[in-house]
Chain A
Amino acid sequence: MRPHTTSHRRDALWLAFLVHRISGLALACFLPLHFLALGLAIRGEATLDGFLKWTANPLVKLAETGLVFLLAVHMLGGMRVLVIENMPWRDGQKRFATGALAFAIIAAAVFLVRAA
């Protein structure tokens, strides 16, 4: 097998791309479930209330924490790319990508603490 260049996949900004892509795919997978939950409101108040009661389950709260992280990291990562593509170049992209990740972790942690 011919030699393959893989060193770049250890770089912070390549990993930022990977996180952005995976979080986007994960959110796309979640979207049908979100619409399904909203659709329960059409079936009646009792069905929706039953579902909302189920979401109080600690495991569901943990999953929601992951969801908050995915939303935050995808939104901030996307904003970083939009700024790159639409505004004058700014150095320090690794710092911005790391900041986006840190902010997403903090947002998820705050959600978890408030949900507990």
Chain B
Amino acid sequence: MTNTIEVSLWRGKADGRYQTFSVPQRENQTVLDVVTWVQRNADPTLSYRFACRVGMCGSCAMTVNGRPRWTCRTHTSKVVENGRLEIGPLANLPVIKDLTCDMQAFFEKWQKAKGVFAPSKTKNDPIEKILPGSPPRQAADAAIECINCAVCFAACDTVRWNEDYVGPAALNRAWTLVNDVRDAGNRDRLSAVAAGGGCHACHSHQSCQEHCPKALNPTASIAGLKRRTMQAYIRREL
């Protein structure tokens, strides 16, 4: 007899409800496999988002038993509790339908934090030599592997309490650019992240670090921005 998991999936929009399915349990089965099984075998109208299935694209994050996770790299054997699994859309983002969130606010906040590279040279200039061991490069490298999954955004209570707060991912991205010696946009960027809803709104709960599937530490990046903006303010650059 095949073991089954009792899976409750969120259906509908914000005022929806959980619907329960019985899904066969398999070896090396991920939470994304479970959701896919439901869509292909039980209810083809189930909406969810995924792309790479290998932890690179950051599109399949969902709330699994109350915790935001990347579902393609989360094995059911690690998260099933008493044969049950509860899967919902990410918190802190509007629900489009079922397990799919509207990510627009999340990416708009990246723009608000000036998380876009501002080139300092043209294509005709020689390529800048970056020493991998230099402190700015190491600071950027420590934060650069973000896959934009919004797990940190969903886990952050400051995002929940303060709708102006740009969130850990956007500030983490800004920190990588602040440490990029090729970038020419730091004056605007530091002004943007020092403004209301920027780095100084962070309460250092460290939920972002605790939940980041890539084991990044956005709190450290935000702390770096707090120091850098303070230094810029003292030097009257802000």
A89 and chain B: residue at smallest CB distance: B220
Residues of B within 8 A of A57 (CB): none
Considering only CB atoms and an 8 Å cut-off, how many residues of chain B contact the other chain? 35
* Known interface pairs A5-B91, A8-B207; A85-B227 also in contact (CB < 8 Å): yes
A81, B95: Cβ atoms under 8 Å? no
Query: Is B217 in contact with chain A by the CB < 8 A criterion?
Result: yes
B205, A5: Cβ atoms under 8 Å? no
A5, B154: Cβ atoms under 8 Å? yes
Quote the shortest CB–CB distance from A89 to chain B (angstroms): 4
- A10-56 residues with Cβ-Cβ distance < 8 A to B are 11, 13-14, 17
Residues of A within 8 A of B206 (CB): 11, 13-14, 93
Quote the shortest CB–CB distance from A113 to chain B (angstroms): 34
Per-residue contact bits, chain B 118-162, to A (CB 8 Å; 1 contact, 0 not): 000000000000000000000000000000000000110100000
| Interface 9-mer from B8-16, B42-50, B52-60 | B8-16
- A79-114 residues with Cβ-Cβ distance < 8 A to B are 81, 84-87, 89, 93
Once the chains are docked, how many angstroms separate the CA of A89 from the CA of B224? 8
| Interface 9-mer from B61-69, B108-116, B180-188 | B61-69
Per-residue contact bits, chain B 73-111, to A (CB 8 Å; 1 contact, 0 not): 000000000000010111110010000000000000000
Residues of B within 8 A of A93 (CB): 206
Query: Is B211 in contact with chain A by the CB < 8 A criterion?
Result: yes
B210, A84: Cβ atoms under 8 Å? no
A2, B223: Cβ atoms under 8 Å? no
B66, A7: Cβ atoms under 8 Å? yes
Query: Is B23 in contact with chain A by the CB < 8 A criterion?
Result: no
B89, A3: Cβ atoms under 8 Å? yes
Quote the shortest CB–CB distance from A40 to chain B (angstroms): 38
Cross-chain contact of B210 among A1, A13, A85 (Cβ < 8 A): A13
Cross-chain contact of A2 among B15, B86, B224, B227 (Cβ < 8 A): B15
Q: A1-B15, A8-B67, A13-B207 are in contact. List 10 more A-B contacts (CB 8 A).
A: A5-B154, A7-B65, A8-B205, A8-B210, A11-B205, A13-B206, A14-B157, A14-B206, A86-B226, A89-B223
Q: Give 7 closest A-B pairs by Cβ, nearest first.
A: A3-B88, A7-B67, A8-B207, A5-B91, A89-B220, A13-B206, A2-B14
A-B contacts, 30 of them at CB < 8 A, read A1-B15, A2-B10, A3-B18, A3-B66, A3-B89, A4-B91, A5-B91, A5-B154, A7-B66, A7-B155, A7-B211, A8-B67, A8-B155, A8-B157, A8-B205, A9-B157, A11-B205, A11-B207, A13-B204, A13-B210, A14-B207, A17-B203, A17-B205, A81-B204, A84-B204, A84-B219, A85-B226, A86-B226, A89-B217, A89-B220
